[in-house]
Amino acid sequence: MACALIRKNGRYLAVRRSRRMPHPGKWEFPGGKLEPEETSFECVVREVREELNLKIKPVRELLSITWHYPGKFVHLIPVVCEITGGELRLSEHDQMQWIDEDNLKAADWTDADRAMLESNHLL
């Protein structure tokens, strides 16, 4: 899986998982599963367009992590991105917020996103 750490003015865009998703009410970075032959950059561009109606430019990958949830493993590849266009609309998540990098620790993240933030020294 790849996730987009969309950064703007020292804040990161986070989305909250809706009731119909696993881990409802938890915050995460937008993204999803890589398609066959797809790079992490291509994945976050596609997923953010589908989930948030935004155009983004991937800048660089951070350290990836593997997290074990009951019944499955998640390999999460974080990609730092910039917004280049579009109008933000939620299609899968029920809320969004811009979180100041000093306040990332306070959010109720999914376990994998929290581990990724810790591995990259962002918490």
Residues in the chain: 123
pTM to 2 decimal places: 0.92
Write out pLDDT tens, residues 95-115. 999 999 899 999 999 999 999
Say whether pLDDT at 123 is over 80: no
Whole-angstrom distance, CA of residue 77 vs CA of residue 116? 8
The answer regarding whether domain 2-119 maps to CATH 3.90.79.10 reads yes
